[in-house]
Amino acid sequence: MTALSRRKLITGGVTAVSGIAGLAAASRLAARYGLVPPDATGIYAPGHTLTYAAQRLIGAGSLAREFRRDQISRPSYVNGKATRNPGFVRSQAGGFADWRLAVDGMVARPGSFSVAEIRTYPSRNQITHLACEEGWSFIAEWTGVPLSHILDRVGASPQARYVVYQSIEPNWWDSVDMEDALHPQTLVTYGMNGGDLPAGHGAPLRMRVPRHIGYKSVKYLTRIVVTDSLKGFGKGMGSGAAERGYSWYNGI
Amino acid sequence: MAAHGTAEAGRTRHSAVVRGTHWTTALCFLALIFTGANILMSHPRLYWGETGNTHMEPLLILPLPTSRGSMPTSYKFVLKDQNGWSRSLHFQTGWLLVGIGLLYAIHGIVTAHFRKTLLPGRGDAPGSAESYNPSQRIAYLGVVFVFFPLMIWTGLAMAPAFVARFPFAVEAFGGQQSARTVHFFVTVLILFFVFGHVVMVWRAGFIDRVAAMITGRVRGKEKS
């Protein structure tokens, strides 16, 4: 063995060992600071964790871009047709008068709110971009109540780590961490472009999370659950989409 | 590392870092092209500006079938949706490639690989196994310092949380859809490069050049 190859061997060995030690230390640190997403299982765990941790380290508190009124897409784009779920169709026939949004889990005062009640809460208008993972996008003005206001109203526990939300469509559910749940632009929306939220856009209530790709913005919202663990929800990966191979964190 | 060895057989041509990053990049590129094509097929249209959807005039309609029933194409079939795993693999490969790229860049600066081997003007020797000709150097530098950063940048410009933090990243392109379009066209340019690269390696002696990129050594007599 020549001196050169011995030097290379030692350098290579030291690099490999320190690399592995570095990765192990990084993953322990990420776990300690809550930077590991719930879908960090299987072969895509490193990618999902790097994306989520990097976004949380650089972007906490940042606001999604908002646009001018003349930038609103006209006509607006609807992805497919409104749901034909029987519960939805029945409620829609009655002008959603009987629609309820249940809020429970780690909260002091679990509640169930009508659309009319939600409309009386302090609202926010925002003109934001919605991009689908397919590639299309549009800009619209959304009107709704910040999710943080609803969480305050029910007295969400300071120990909460995630907010899970469910559509009337079975298996259509998702969740966000508290950074997104308490974010001022995360809205429970009921209005779009100055009118009521159209059926195809998720009437009567749709979650809008503008710092995420579109599929985080679940339509036909019926339930919100505050929790400190996602283990009891579905397969514990944080969303129905994550169980179908899509990443849970979609700020990407 | 002796990239400019003497003209004897068995001399070093590529350092271990260059060889390792070369083949890992090649594998990453294959994964990114394949998963990128899967993602593109769910909406094979390109736009300019912030927004793009089927109500709008596209810049380009790609003659591809689609994986979504809501997407009008002239094909009579809809492919299976492959976006879930394609996106996860695309982003994970992106991270790997960023790591590989950083390793390559630091190595290239520290060992003066960029200055000595890739910057045109120094030791240009057309046809030699030790040296690259000027157009080859410009092509390599272009891929490393223009195309690669542009791919990362346009990729991040499509990420809503990233542009919330750094709005300039997307505004520089005039919008999210413009960034998506540039991402596509730079991919096409990289494909042209890869095609040209393989053709040139073939013409220069495929087995010898590929062996040199695997073992790091040049075998046998020089072919000029």
**pLDDT > 80? residue B136:** yes
pLDDT band at residue B224 under the 50/70/90 scheme: very low
| Within a domain: B79 | yes
Quick one: how far is CA B110 from the chain centroid?
Answer: 23
The reported pLDDT for the residue numbered B3 is 42
Q: Which of A206, A168, A172, A213 is nearest to A188 (CA)?
A: A206
| Within a domain: B46 | yes
Rg of chain B (C-alpha set):
20
The reported pLDDT for the residue numbered A9 is 77
Phi-psi domain of A125 (left: phi exceeds 0; alpha: psi -120 through 50; beta: other): beta
Query: Is the CB of B54 less than 8 angstroms away from the CB of A63?
Result: no
For the complex shown, is ipTM > 0.90? Answer: yes
Min CA distance, A76 vs chain B (Å)? 8
Percent of chain B with pLDDT over 70: 89
The whole-model pTM stands at 0.91
Query: Is the CB of B16 less than 8 angstroms away from the CB of A8?
Result: yes
Chain A residues with at least one Cβ partner in B under 8 Å: 8, 12, 44, 46-48, 50-51, 55, 58-59, 62-65, 67, 71, 73, 75, 77, 79-80, 129, 131-139, 210-213, 241, 244-247, 250-252
The reported pLDDT for the residue numbered A17 is 86
Backbone phi and psi for residue B78, each to the nearest 5 degrees, phi listed first: -120, 125
The reported pLDDT for the residue numbered B124 is 54
Domain count, chain B: 1
The reported pLDDT for the residue numbered B8 is 44
The helix/strand/coil state of B115 is helix
**How far apart, in whole angstroms, are the C-alpha atoms of residue A66 and residue A129?**
8
Backbone phi and psi for residue A67, each to the nearest 5 degrees, phi listed first: -120, 170
Query: Is the CB of A47 less than 8 angstroms away from the CB of B92?
Result: yes
* Structural domain harbouring B160: 16-215
Q: What is the mean predicted confidence (pLDDT) over B42-63? A: 96
Domain spans of chain A?
65-243
For residue range B72-122, list pLDDT tens digits in order. Answer: 998 999 999 999 999 999 999 999 999 999 999 999 999 999 988 888 876
For residue range A163-220, list pLDDT tens digits in order. Answer: 999 999 999 999 999 999 999 999 999 999 999 999 999 999 999 999 999 999 999 9
Chain A and chain B share a number of CB contacts under 8 A equal to 122
| Within a domain: B154 | yes
| Within a domain: B220 | no
| Within a domain: B47 | yes
Query: Is the CB of B88 less than 8 angstroms away from the CB of A65?
Result: no
Which positions ≥6 away from B183 have C-beta within 8 Å? B151, B154, B155, B158
Interface test with B, best of A136, A180, A216 (most B CBs within 10 A): A136
pLDDT band at residue A19 under the 50/70/90 scheme: confident
Q: State the CATH number of the domain containing residue B163.
A: 1.20.950.20
| Within a domain: B161 | yes
User: Across the interface, which of B40, B84, B170 has its CB nearest the CB of A245?
Assistant: B84
The reported pLDDT for the residue numbered A2 is 58
Top pLDDT among B193 and B136 is at B193
Query: Is the CB of A211 less than 8 angstroms away from the CB of B164?
Result: yes
Q: Which CATH architecture has domain A65-243?
A: Alpha-Beta Complex (3.90)
